[in-house]
Structure 1
């Protein structure tokens, strides 16, 4: 089904929980919260997806996305251990984890448009206006979302200082 191998299904199903978890945390907390039960689910799910991409990918860009995703996850989840509970750590954590969510959604949207509906996908060319528009929309969402997150963190820091 959808031209996905058994290993591809493990990759897909393993990384799938990260999407609703990220959306929930972004909506509820304005960011991905690493030190929470849902943060643990996000980390594990993203790690499964990013690590298995090396086994299922057919394009070299996929390897780059997987490697950068792993680095962003490690940075986002480890920065507080390195810097402690300082303001800059929260900014780095938020930016890294938001970028990791973007790197999850970019190939997810691309693969959905290239595989659905089964046998007659919406997109057959990587330069399709629909695909490029969807990717541009994700990029715009990232820019607006990161800006909002940084402004929120800055206001939170000012309120704590007063």
Structure 2
């Protein structure tokens, strides 16, 4: 079904829980919350997806996305341990984890458009206007979302400084 191998299904199903977990945390908290149950689910699911991409990928860009995703996850989840609880750690955490969501959604949207409906996908060419538009929309969401998160962090930091 959809031209996906058994290992491809392991990759897909293993990384699938990261999508609703990320969407919920971003809608509810405005960011990925690493030290939460959903944050742990996101981390494990993303690691499964990023690690198994090396076994199922057919394009070199997929390896780059897998490596970048793993590095962003480790940096985002480890920022507070390395930099101690600080504004810098919070910025690193939010930027890295937001970028990891983008790297999750970019291939997800691409693969859905290239495989659905089964046998007659919406996109057959990587230069399709529909695919490029969807990828551009994801990039715009990344830019707007990350900008909003940084502005919020900055204002929250200024508010704390004024109260001190």
TM tier relative to shorter chain = over 0.9
Inter-partner Cα distance in structure 2 for 1:91 and 1:36: 18
Inter-partner Cα distance in structure 1 for 2:83 and 2:136: 34
Return 5+ residue gaps in structure 2 as ranges.
none
TM-score, normalised to structure 1, is 0.99
Residues 92-150 of structure 1 show CA distances to partners (whole Å, capped at 9, x for unaligned) of 10000000000000000000000000000000000000000000000000000000000
Q: Say yes or no: does 1:23 pair with 2:18.
A: no
Residue of structure 2 in register with 1:36 after alignment: 36
Inter-partner Cα distance in structure 2 for 1:152 and 1:25: 16
Q: Say yes or no: does 1:133 pair with 2:115.
A: no
Inter-partner Cα distance in structure 1 for 2:23 and 2:91: 19
Q: CA RMSD in A?
A: 0.5
**1:158, distance to aligned residue in structure 2 (A):** 1.4
Partner of 1:117, secondary structure, is coil
**1:156, distance to aligned residue in structure 2 (A):** 1.1
* Equivalenced residues, count: 162
Structure 1 runs (4+) deviating above 3 angstroms are none
